[in-house]
């Protein structure tokens, strides 16, 4: 049986993640209150951030930035797109 969570993004009950997606307290908060659908939205947003800012995910500064954006995305009112970002046609 799939577990459900009251998703902070979707504002309704939805299928939860199968495992903690990130280390530490933030990962546990996400596991407890973020759905698979909302996590997928974050992954798409994260990919856009990495591409637009040309981040190296192995760089500690980039990881710190992405962790902060992840926390804002789920628990802090949202993560913004770069000003220069325009969605491809």
> Does 87 reside within a domain?
no
Q: Which of 38, 37, 25, 36 is nearest to 74 (CA)?
A: 38
Question: Do 31 and 16 contact (CB within 8 A), yes or no?
Answer: yes
In a domain, 38, yes or no: yes
Is residue 62 within 8 Å of residue 56, measured between CB atoms?
yes
pLDDT in tens, 40-58: 999 999 999 999 999 998 9
Asked whether residue 22 is assigned to any structural domain, the reply reads yes
Overall average pLDDT of the 57-76 stretch: 94
Has residue 86 been placed in a domain? no
Closest CA to 67 of 38, 75, 81, 14: 75
Instruction: pLDDT band for 80, please (50, 70, 90 cuts).
Output: low
- Whether the per-residue pLDDT at 85 is higher than 60: the answer is no
Q: Bigger pLDDT: 2 or 44?
A: 44
Q: How many distinct structural domains can be found in the chain?
A: 1
What whole-number distance in Å separates Cα of residue 36 and Cα of residue 46?
Answer: 15
Residue 81 lies in a domain: no
Is position 23 within any domain?
yes
**Domain annotation covers residue 37:** yes
pTM surpassing 0.75? yes
Q: Which domain holds residue 35?
A: 4-75
**65-78 mean pLDDT:** 91
CATH number of domain containing 45 = 1.10.3880.10
- Looking only at the bridges linking them, the beta strands covering 12-15 and 4-7 are antiparallel
């Amino acid at each position: 049986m799939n577990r459900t969570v009251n998703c902070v993004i979707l504002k309704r009950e939805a299928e939860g993640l199968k495992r903690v997606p990130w280390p530490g307290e933030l990962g546990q908060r996400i596991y407890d209150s973020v759905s698979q659908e909302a996590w997928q939205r974050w992954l798409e947003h994260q990919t856009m951030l990495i591409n637009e800012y040309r981040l190296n995910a192995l760089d500690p500064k980039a990881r710190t930035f992405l962790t902060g954006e992840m926390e804002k995305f789920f628990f802090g009112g949202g993560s913004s797109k770069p000003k220069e970002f325009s969605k491809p046609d």
